[in-house]
Structures are given as structure tokens and as C-alpha cells.
Amino acid sequence: MKEISKIKRLYELKHVFRDNDVRGKLETSAEHSRSCLILADYFMNSMDLKIDKLKVYELLMYHDLVEIEAWDVALNSSASRAEKKAKELSAMKKIMTEMPEILQGKYEHLFYEFEEKKTLEARFANAIDKLDADIYAIDSTPKSFEWYSEKLFREMKQHHYTEFPEINAMFEKILISYKERGVI
């Protein structure tokens, strides 16, 4: 029963809500992780990348577990963003001690790989993480984005996409969609 409780601890990601309201519903971090996996699969099957697909799936599957403790930090929350790294590191260490022992080393390695972005897989997973939020937000109302601008989107996100032209092209299409709808 103790092992089941440790697995259930990781399921708490289903109850962490992200700071984006689309169609009157907040997305959970677990939903975001799942849609990242679908988006990654799409791009890995449409791009000519020499990439370890399993590693990408694992990076995305585990990348937001820290939000169980640290919660999601919105793009427009500068005070929270400044503290984000320290909070997430602390959260990772706490969650790691509460998860099944068999996953602890793997999780720690994946956490640092994702954060440090030194591997192709980690940079790709980070690009997918950023793009997924923009795809989800396509259905947002302009009011939801009143503080956003094209300049801010480019400053905050575009550097994640430059290594992956196909992902960058989709980002550009999303920005066009935002402009047409008066979101930015």
C-alpha cells in the first residue's frame, strides 16, 4: 500500500491548475504534460531529427512534477518567475523523496537535463513545452491576453525554437492567429 501511495503522490499533478483560462476552463499541469507528448510525437515524426524519442517522452512526462509543490508560474508573473528556479529545485528534492525509490534517480537526472538544456532532447522538449501553451491558448479570448504583446512573446519564447525551424514556423502561424483575433 505504501508504494501505491507514493505513485498516487505523482498523480497530484492532475490537481495543479495552470494560469490560462481557455473556454472557461483552466488546464491542469497533467493535461499540459499529455498534450506535450502528443505535440512532441507529431514533430518527431514530421522532422528529420536524430533524436532519442524515449528520452523526449520521459523529459516531457516528468518535466512539470515540480508543480505539485511549486505550482505553475505564469508568464506575466515577474515576482514569481524570479523565485521559480529555487522553488522548483526545492520542490524536486521534496517530491523525489516521496516517489517510489525505483523512480528517484531517473527523475533527478531528467529534472536537471530538462533545466540545463544541454542535450538535443532537452532543448527539443523545452521547445515543445513552450509551444504547447501557445497552441492551448489559441482559443483564449483577447481579454485573457490583455497584457501580452508580440514583442513579449518573441522575447520570452522564440529563442527556444530557433534550433527547430518546423517548430518556429508553427510559432509564427500561432502569432498570426493571435494578431488576427486581436489577442496581441
Give me the residue spans of the domains in the chain.
2-180
Q: What is the pLDDT of residue 63?
A: 95
Residue 137, pLDDT score? 78
Evaluate if residue 79 carries a pLDDT over 70.
Answer: no
3-state secondary structure of 163: coil
Residue in the structure block whose three cell numbers are 497533467: 30
> Grid cell 523529459 — which residue?
59
Say if CB 131 and CB 123 are below 8 A apart: no
Per-residue pLDDT band for 74 (boundaries 50, 70, 90) equals low
Record: fold of 2-180: Hypothetical protein af1432 (1.10.3210)
The b/e string for 138-177 (b: 16+ C-beta within 10 A; e otherwise) is eebeeeebeebeeeebeeebeebbeebeebbebbeebbeb
Burial class (CB in 10 A: 0-12, 13-18, 19+), 64: buried
The average pLDDT across 174-178 equals 90
- Whole-prediction pTM value? 0.90
- Of 27-31, 64-68, 81-85, minimum mean pLDDT range: 81-85
Q: Is the pLDDT of residue 147 over 70?
A: no
The answer to whether residues 120 and 56 touch, using CB atoms and an 8 Å cutoff, is no
- 75 pLDDT more than 90: no
Reported as a single tens digit per residue, the pLDDT across 42-52 is: 999 999 999 99
Q: What is the pLDDT of residue 141?
A: 60
